[in-house]
Structure 1
Amino acid sequence: MNHDRSRDLYDRALSVIPGGVNSSVRATRPYPFFIERGDGAHVVDADGNRYIDYVMGYGPLLYGHDMPDPVRAAVQSHASEGPMYGAPTEIEVDHAEFVARHVPSVEMIRFVNSGTEATVSAVRLARGYTGRDKIVVMQGGYHGAQESTLVEGGPDNPRPSTAGIPASFAEHTIPVPFNDEETIERVFEEHGHDIAGVLVEPVLGNYGIVQPISGYHETLRELCDDYGSLLVFDEVITGFRVGGLGCAQSKLGVTPDVTTFGKIIGGGFPVGAIGGKAEIIESFTPSGDVFQSGTFSGHPVTMAAGHAYLTYAAEHDVYEHVNRLGETLRAGITDLCEDRAPEYTVVGSDSMFKTVFTRDAPSSLGDQCADGCEQRTDCPRYDHCPKTGGDVADAETERWERVFWQEMKERGVFLTANQFESQFVSYAHTEEDVEETLEAYKEAL
């Protein structure tokens, strides 16, 4: 493939944008290709190269790059009436009512502008509602670019994971390994009455898609109930993708106190939201004393897109289609890995997928999880598949980025550019796209 124009654009970008990109994960080696347009399940770059797209904007594009006609009509209608008003609109209420009808934890919801803003607000809400300071997060979990969660280390030695955050901020955050019940129980025994909330993704989505082991979220729910802490599910990635309109919490059968949203809930436009029990959400100003506000919150075009997005999904076979293709894709990759790279672990569920380049394989793969790791204790891979973010970090992450991603790109398949972020199937993908993708995997592996 020729990438001359992308290279020139990147050269220009380096002069005016730090690192040449506006989000760190876009900085692929040796330079990113610049997208010119989307077309269904494909993107076309500045040099005219065409790719099957499984990045899907890092998750929000449930329908691919062509919005269904009702969604497009809703967006155009609200955009033509005026960009925004600084006052409430009916579409905000319509969208809030829809989410509250379908998501188990949501009685009330506050819309904001990004997933990061949602989790920042949720942390402040948990602290304000409980009158406590400490927040528990999962090692390898991602909750946006915010000071309270950009923390690494362990329960006894938390520290900022990036420059620019005072060490004193990390003192109020307790990182624990995902899926480690013994550690979280010990943390609550030591700090339970100081813990405002546990912030957890139902499925780790920015660290290779790590599923919870059986009973883990139930343990978190029980501990939060016992100590008066809030259980906060970060469903920015999984929301309206895993578990359909009920989100991952409905699939898992565990109802949090608060849920954060982003991505799909805004129909491809900038969005975030915090939903939960009315008693808790009403702690936000002006009904309560936890300050939260934003000029663009509840933006009418975003609300129209999100509402039309979810309404269309409720009235059509969207989830049946994307989940079936996701299952076919994961099953096909599982078969390829068994033959060509038996140490690798295929992960994901519903319309999410990834291949983690784990380093060890069991002696036999008979009766392994057929289309994505389910954390089944009777699966021969169980002792080898990732249980924590650290397990994914210990995989062959450089091989994914430096070799595999490049090979797939040259075969016309656009994957997330490193080992960690999730990949997504959209309503625009077809069985032919999946077949072409599996052929590319076969050659690249």
Structure 2
Amino acid sequence: MNDDNSRELYDRALSVMPGGVNSAVRAAIEPYPFFVQKGDGGHVIDADGNRYVDWVMGLGPLLLGHDLPDPVQAGIQQRASEGPMYGAPTEIEVDLAEFVVRHVPSVEKIRFVNSGTEATTSAVRLARGYTGRNKIVVNQGGYHGAQESTLVEGDHENPAPSSAGVPQAFAEHTLPVPFNDEEAVREVFEEHGDDIAAVMTEPILGNYGIVHPEEGYHEFLREITDEHGSLLIFDEVITGFRVGGLGCAQSEFGVTPDLTTFGKIVGGGFPVGAIGGRAEIVEQFTPSGDVFQAGTFSGHPVTMAAGLETLKFAAENDVYDHVNELGDRLRRGLTEIVADQAPQYTVTGTDSMFKVIFTRDGPGANSLEEQCPAGCRQDPTCPRYDYCPKNAGDVKNADTDRWRRIFWGQMKEQGVFLSQNQFECQFVSYAHTEEDVEETLEAYKEAL
């Protein structure tokens, strides 16, 4: 494939932007990323005219794909034509808030913000303000945005900043534990229970390969936070309105958190975030409470219209049936390919999320007939159970360099755009087709 224009654009970008990008993951591919000119349904076309099946979908927000259905497009254009923004409330904010409250089990009230990072930052502040406590328990490898309270690595005994610029004093209030590790959670509550404001977790780890919870894990988190008077926060920036449909992942798992953070799909592809939850907690935000939260662009009318029209279209059409069926077909096809060509690798995902993790160990190929057929479900009866990733550390120990340095480029050469590293999710959209799935499976066969 010719990539002269992308190379020239990256050369220009390096002169005016750090690393040539505005978000670090975009530069994960070496020696340089391709630059997108436009989207087309379930595809993107780069600056050199190369066309790719797009399974990145903006890193998750594009549930409907790049070509928006007419009613969604019309709703966005109407709001944009009426003026960019006002610094005053609009009816569309109320409409979207009412829609979310009707469909998401945990949400009685909601505050809209401008990004997933802003949502999780505000949720942490809210939890601390509501409980009068300082510490936050997070899962190692769980991603909760570029904020000081969660850019923390290590374990609960030795937390440390994972980024320059974060004071060690901040990190000491964050207690990282492995995902799916109930004993580690018990230990931090035994030691710090009186000062834990909240446990914040993704229902499914979505920025570290895709790791499914073991049965009972979220129920355990619900019980132990209730026991100690702490809050349970589900970060559904990735899973919200993708896993579990309009009820989000919490409805699929049957566990209701105290607070939920949103982003991506709730804004229909425009910058957005939100914090929803029990009314008595969310009302602690100013002006009704004492926890300060504000934003010039919060509740932006164009974003609110995009989110509402996207979710209404999904509710009134076969969007979730379509994307989940294609996701299932992808994962089943990948499971068969991996069993034949790379039996140590693990297929993960659920609904319209999917990934192949390049795990290094696995059961014998002749024992794979009884494995999870469409993505790892942490099933103890599965022959892969002892080998499939249970937490972020397991994913980090996979062959991530091969994924990025060899496999990604081989898929690109076959016209398939996958997320730029081993850790980010891949997503199915309403614009994808059975032909896109078959083309992608053939590319996996060749690249693996």
Q: How would you bin the TM-score normalised by the shorter chain?
A: over 0.9
Is 1:10–2:10 an aligned residue pair? yes
Alignment equivalent of 1:413, drawn from 378, 394, 416: 416
**TM-fit CA distance, 1:283:** 0.3
Match of 1:189 in 2: 190
SS in 1 for 2:39: strand
> What is the aligned partner in structure 2 of residue 61 from structure 1?
62
Unaligned runs of 5+ in 1: none
CA distance in 2, matches of 1:241, 1:4: 36
| Amino acid of the structure 2 residue aligned with 1:292 | Q
Query: Which of 363, 375, 386 is the matching residue for 1:383?
Result: 386
Structure-2 residue corresponding to 1:393:
396
1:125 maps to what in 2? 126
Per the TM alignment, residue 316 of structure 1 is displaced from its structure 2 partner at its CA by 0.3
Partner of 2:26 in structure 1?
26
Partner of 1:328: 329
Within a 5 Å distance, the mapping from 1:154-169 to structure 2 comes to 154-169=155-170
Report the Cα offset of residue 24 of structure 1: 0.4
Structure 2 CA distance for aligned equivalents of residues 59 and 243 of structure 1: 15
Cα distance between partner residues in 1 of 2:85 and 2:121: 24
Whole-angstrom CA distance in 1 between matches of 2:369 and 2:310:
41
Q: Which letter maps to 1:442?
A: K
SS at match of 1:43: strand
TM-fit CA distance, 1:189: 1.1
| 1:429 equivalent in alignment to 2:432 | yes
1:259 is aligned to 260
1:292 equivalenced with 2:288 (yes/no): no
Tell me which residue corresponds to 2:282.
Answer: 281
Write the distance in 2 (CA, Å) between the matches of 1:192 and 1:377.
31
Q: Is 1:209 matched with 2:197? A: no
What is the CA deviation profile of residues 145-174 of structure 1, one whole-angstrom value per residue up to 9, with x for unaligned ones? 000000000010000001111111001000
Q: SS at the partner of 1:5?
A: helix
Superposition misfits of 4+ residues, deviation over 2 angstroms: none
Distance 1:192 1:408 in 2: 48
2:370 partner SS: coil
In structure 1, C-alpha distance between the alignment counterparts of 2:323 and 2:435, rounded to whole Å = 14
Whether 1:310 aligns to 2:298 is: no
How far apart, in 1, do the equivalents of 2:284 and 2:385 lie? 43
Structure 2: give runs of 5+ residues left out of the alignment.
none
Report the Cα distance in structure 2 between the residues aligned to 1:323 and 1:434, rounded to whole angstroms.
12
Distance 2:340 2:137 in 1: 41
Shift of 1:79: 0.3
Q: Which amino acid aligns with 1:398?
A: D
TM-superposed deviation, 1:366: 2.4
- Opposite residue 393 of structure 1, the aligned amino acid is K
Shift of 1:193: 1.0
1:176 corresponding residue in structure 2 = 177
Counterpart in the other structure of 1:113: 114
Aligned-partner Cα distance in 2 for 1:366–1:270 = 44
- What is the distance in 1 between the residues matched to 2:376 and 2:141? 18
Shift of 1:196: 0.2
User: Deviation string for 1:95-154 (max 9, x for gaps)?
Assistant: 000000000000000000000000000000000000000000000000000000000000
Aligned: 1:95 with 2:96: yes
- In the aligned structure 2, how far is the partner of 1:417 from the partner of 1:280? 37
| TM-score after normalising by structure 2 | 0.99
Superposed displacement of residue 190, structure 1: 1.1
Counterpart of 2:48, as a letter, is D
1:68-83 to structure 2, matched below 5 A, reads 68-83=69-84
Distance 1:348 1:392 in 2: 14
Using the TM superposition, give the Cα deviation of residue 186 of structure 1 relative to its aligned residue in structure 2, in angstroms.
1.3
Measure how far apart 1:268 and its partner are. 0.3
Amino acid across the alignment from 2:173: H
Q: Using the alignment, how far apart are the partners of 1:263 and 1:71 within structure 2?
A: 16
Give the whole-Å Cα distance in 2 for the aligned partners of 1:187 and 1:143: 20
Partner of 2:406: 403
Cα deviation, residue 361, structure 1? 1.2
Deviations 1:200-233 (A, max 9, x none): 0000000000000000001100010000000000
Q: Distance in 2 between matches of 1:366 and 1:49?
A: 39
CA shift at 1:305, angstroms? 0.5
Q: Distance in 1 between matches of 2:407 and 2:193?
A: 44
Q: TM-score, normalised by structure 1?
A: 1.00
Aligned length: 445
After superposition, the C-alpha distances for 1:254-273 in whole angstroms (9 at most, x for unaligned) are 00000000000000000000
Please report the RMSD computed on the Cα atoms of aligned residues, expressed in angstroms: 0.4
